[in-house]
Amino acid sequence: MARCISDAKIRSMTTEPSTKRSAQVSRARPGDWVVVHRHTVGDQERSGLILEVLGTPGHEHYRVRWDEEHESIFYPGADATIRREAPR
């Protein structure tokens, strides 16, 4: 499911990095798990295994194998957290 991001949101993400987001991004490594939390009632939480860390420090993104058994490149947002062990 694709999400649209406004120009203002993109500018704020690139010019005003969130301390919390930076801390989460900087500690991720292959073998960690990313969990994307629900946006609305009825949505399912998604989780995936980080296979590869891509990008430059502070602007990392990941190649992830999702629990639905497909792989994609994932750019984390505020709704994502990184965990060392597999989510339950």
pTM of the model: 0.65
Cα distance between residue 22 and residue 78, in whole Å = 10
The closest alpha carbon to 60, from 33, 32, 21, belongs to 21
Cα distance between residue 85 and residue 88, in whole Å = 9
Share of the chain above pLDDT 70, in %: 70
Element (H, E) at 48: strand 46-54
The pLDDT of residue 87 = 74
| Angle, vertex CA 67, rays to CA 65 and CA 71, nearest 5 | 25
Domains of the chain in sequence order: 29-88 (2.30.30)
Express each pLDDT in 44-83 by its tens digit: 899 999 999 999 988 999 999 999 889 999 999 999 999 9
- What's the average model confidence in pLDDT over 13-28? 48
